[in-house]
Structure 1
Amino acid sequence: MSAPAGRARRVLAATAAAVAGALAVGMAVAAPSTAEPGPTLGQLAAAKGRYFGSATDNPTLNNAPYTAVLGSEFNQITVGNTQKWQYTEPSRGQFDYSQADRIVAFAQAHNQIVRGHTLAWHNQLPGWVNDVPAGELLGVMRNHIANVAGHYKGKVVHWDVVNEAFEEDGTRRQSVFQQKIGDSYIAEAFKAARAADPNAKLYYNDYNVEGIGAKSDAMYNMVKSFKQQGIPIDGVGLQAHLILGQVPSTVRQNIKRFADLGVDVAITELDIRMRTPRDATKDAQQAADYRTVTNACLAVTRCVGITVWDFSDGYSWIPSVFPGEGAALIFDENFNKKPSYWAVYEALGGTRVTTTTTTTTGGTGTGCTATYRVTSQWGGGFQGEVSIRNNDTTALNGWTVQWTFAQGQALANLWNGVATTNGQDITVRNASYNGTIDAVGTTTFGFIGSFSGSNPVPSPITCTRA
């Protein structure tokens, strides 16, 4: 089902219009092309009146391959850390928005909407907040919300106003706010946020509330009470930090019961962790789990969008908190699309076309193997990727891949490699950062191409060690 027309227009208007040139990391091939890249997750979601976004953090904005994907694939950004209290008001009454402003500016430059995260939370508080006398803390909290939400007025479409206020059994978490202000602090936070920014949608956000249970019941009862009292709450965020093969069977039912209260629902921090290392079986289960969550959101009109908690396994919080676990996201450490990516892509209505050819050079199984795939195709254009595998027991320190387009195809843009063309002959050499491949390891580069008529995979394709 599609979202109401007004929200659909707002999300569609925020869709990133980036083309493959933004992804170019090596030298872009100077071949003329009118082909546009296939739809991104953000574009597919926008077509259904929703967003598909990613959280991000300040250090990663200095990584060009990372920001190329962040700026082109998604139509929504969540500020992962630097809108939290410890960053925005490190000393009482002294506000600092410099780091969060940089992320918001990035989103604006890429036509992405921004979710604000978070105004009142028991974690990542500066020490001085815990020392505020009980009689003063409500005023301090109101002042903080007024300043932070006021600073981002008109720039943030959603605020996670209060985060993680319930324990697993549904009782109130005994945070400094709960202890010194009492049960009313959540309602007071929402009132302060509405006064600071009347147009932002105000959310309560929590984890382990994706299915129906004691914690989500407590959240449901609070939202129902707020709606009855006229407390300004517009939505609930289901964080969805999930475990492989354990997506709650009641997730769709749970989304719908909140929507029936008259609030929007967002999947706000999605990742699905596994015991590492990855293998094909785990990847397949993870893909099925991502598809289940995406379909559950699409099934309920008031589920407005999905945000992954960063998009690349190399930038996930999981391994530092759950030793031996990880690989929770939709891109791997080298920004290759995982089966979980394609599961979301197809659930959102995208069509994946995959054809493959593989050639090994070296004669005796040594050297390297190049595997060429067409991963998606549309009228006049296609996206492809080539995987390079080191077949030796020693590290490979540079590679070259060559092929010839036999049907007049043209290369438009390429990333994670440096390409040159000579007519229909294509040569791709490693970029400065991915020439070394460990023994029996792999790396990947991708590209956009155009074609007319047919688009067969080239054969042969050769891989040569430097």
Structure 2
Amino acid sequence: MASRAAQAQSFTPASAPDRPLAEIAQSRGFTYGCAVTAQLIAEEPQFAALVAQEAGILVPEYEAKFESLQPEAGRFDFAKLDALLSWAEHFRKPLRGHALVWHNSLPAWVPPVLAESRARAQGVMEAHFDRVLTHTRARIRDWDVVNEPVANPPGSDVPEPAGNSGDLRSTPWLRALGPDYIPMALRAARQRDATLRLTLNDYGVEADSPSAEEKRRRLLRLLRSLRDRNVPLDAVGIQAHLQMREAFNPAIFARFVRDIRALDLQVLITEMDVREVRPPVGDFVARDASVALRSHAFASAAFEGGARTLLTWGISDRWSWLHREQAVALDPGDVHRGLPYDWELNRKQMWRALARAFLGQGVG
């Protein structure tokens, strides 16, 4: 086996075409995109230019979540989402919707209202769908209808609260509506838009670990249950917030993607980035080589299994949530190098690793 240093030579500038990732991906029938925010598009011209150059599809980090769209009961605010949509349309880039039903990013008024009664909770869901899907119908053709419904097994970074049992995460929606909240949401979305791609999105299924294996089993049980009940569903999103401290087995992950595809469901990689183990500051070449190897292994396994779309959660380390969020950030003075471009907006080995994965090329 080649050494890690030798393998890294595959991800030098000469190892991939000097074309945008979206163009490289499209040449092989894949789609590459990234997450964006309205604020960055408006205030950071370098970010906007980079996204316009590299991405073929976009997803809003915040602007389509419940809290942003309906901050007060019955008062909807589409200004930021509309700004993103207009920018995306100018550059002829589709924008995914993220996310209609989620336990996070709920405004303060929602949980107590959901707790009033089942009928009240269903009414809140359907009223939100009515307004949002009507407003975005001509412009967004793929929504994460249900986000992160599967419970985290023991051993996960964020285990379920004590006393919670079953495959589903304990959320205000589950407590108000029971397990039927998922088919209820998917059917409501289909009723409002017969040709919308309905996606169920989740995380924590990528690693070669007991907790990830259990979460894969739980997600597959949920998907098979939905299929058995003829619940409308078109795609599964796998977030892919990868962590270098976790082992990864390409064969296991490719088989998991094939298992989902066998249910006649598309598979999207929706939020990919790489979180490093706390490394020594400054050893960028070695760090970037490790991140690139993991990115190539993961993307190649996803594509082998049948995924055709990959989005990263951002485009450059400079604007990544991995340094904005204290819970996942590195020590002061250092940032995760987990996106295709670095802080200075240079293409990294990760960019070239993704390019080679899209092209079906190995590491050497």
Q: Which residue of 1 aligns with 2:241?
A: 241
Matches within 5 A, 1:9-408: 38-61=18-41, 62-132=43-113, 133-135=116-118, 136-169=120-153, 171-211=167-207, 213-244=213-244, 246=246, 248-249=248-249, 250-274=252-276, 275-276=278-279, 277=281, 279=283, 280-301=285-306, 303-319=307-323, 320=325, 321-324=327-330, 326-349=336-359
Q: Which residue of 1 aligns with 2:13?
A: none
The one-letter code matched in structure 2 to 1:84 is K
Cα distance in 1, alignment partners of residues 196 and 313 from structure 2:
21
Cα distance in 1, alignment partners of residues 148 and 21 from structure 2:
28
More helix by share: 2
Deviates more, 1:142-151 or 1:68-77: 142-151
Give 4+ residue runs of structure 1 displaced > 6 Å after superposition. none
Cα distance in 2, alignment partners of residues 331 and 217 from structure 1:
34
Q: Cα distance 1:310–1:66, how it changes in 2: closer, same or farther (>3 A)?
A: same
Q: Which residue of 1 aligns with 2:11?
A: none
Give the TM-score taking structure 1 as reference length: 0.65
Structure 1, unmatched stretches of 5+, are 1-36, 352-466
The one-letter code matched in structure 2 to 1:337 is R
Corresponding residue SS for 2:300 = helix
The one-letter code matched in structure 2 to 1:300 is G
Percent pairwise identity: 29
More strand by share: 1
Structure 2, unmatched stretches of 5+, are 1-16, 154-165
Cα distance in 1, alignment partners of residues 221 and 37 from structure 2:
33
Instruction: Tell me the CA shift for residue 209 of structure 1.
Output: 1.6
Q: Cα distance 1:79–1:323, how it changes in 2: closer, same or farther (>3 A)?
A: closer
Cα distance in 1, alignment partners of residues 117 and 298 from structure 2:
41
Contact 2:152 2:169 in 1 (8 A): no
Instruction: Tell me the CA shift for residue 146 of structure 1.
Output: 2.2
Contact 1:167 1:173 in 2 (8 A): yes
Instruction: Give the RMSD, CA atoms, in angstroms.
Output: 1.8
Cα distance in 1, alignment partners of residues 203 and 328 from structure 2:
16
Instruction: Tell me the CA shift for residue 331 of structure 1.
Output: 0.5
The one-letter code matched in structure 1 to 2:68 is Y
Corresponding residue SS for 2:270 = strand
Contact 2:256 2:305 in 1 (8 A): no
**Structure with max Cα Rg:** 1
Instruction: Tell me the CA shift for residue 298 of structure 1.
Output: 2.1
Instruction: Tell me the CA shift for residue 245 of structure 1.
Output: 5.9
Deviates more, 1:107-116 or 1:320-329: 320-329
Q: Give CA-to-partner distance per residue, 1:108-135, whole Å, 9 cap, x none.
A: 1111121110000011101110121123
Q: Cα distance 1:88–1:111, how it changes in 2: closer, same or farther (>3 A)?
A: same
Contact 1:245 1:289 in 2 (8 A): no
Cα distance in 2, alignment partners of residues 318 and 262 from structure 1:
34
Instruction: Tell me the CA shift for residue 171 of structure 1.
Output: 2.8
Give the TM-score taking structure 2 as reference length: 0.82
Q: Give CA-to-partner distance per residue, 1:67-96, whole Å, 9 cap, x none.
A: 111011110000111100011011111111
Q: Which residue of 1 aligns with 2:7?
A: none
Instruction: Tell me the CA shift for residue 350 of structure 1.
Output: 9.1
The one-letter code matched in structure 1 to 2:183 is A
Deviates more, 1:48-57 or 1:150-159: 150-159
The count of aligned residue pairs is 314
Which protein has greater RCO, CA pairs closer than 8 Å, 6+ apart?
A: 2
Corresponding residue SS for 2:144 = strand
Contact 2:198 2:234 in 1 (8 A): yes
Q: Which residue of 2 aligns with 1:19?
A: none
Cα distance in 1, alignment partners of residues 100 and 308 from structure 2:
21
Contact 1:153 1:196 in 2 (8 A): no
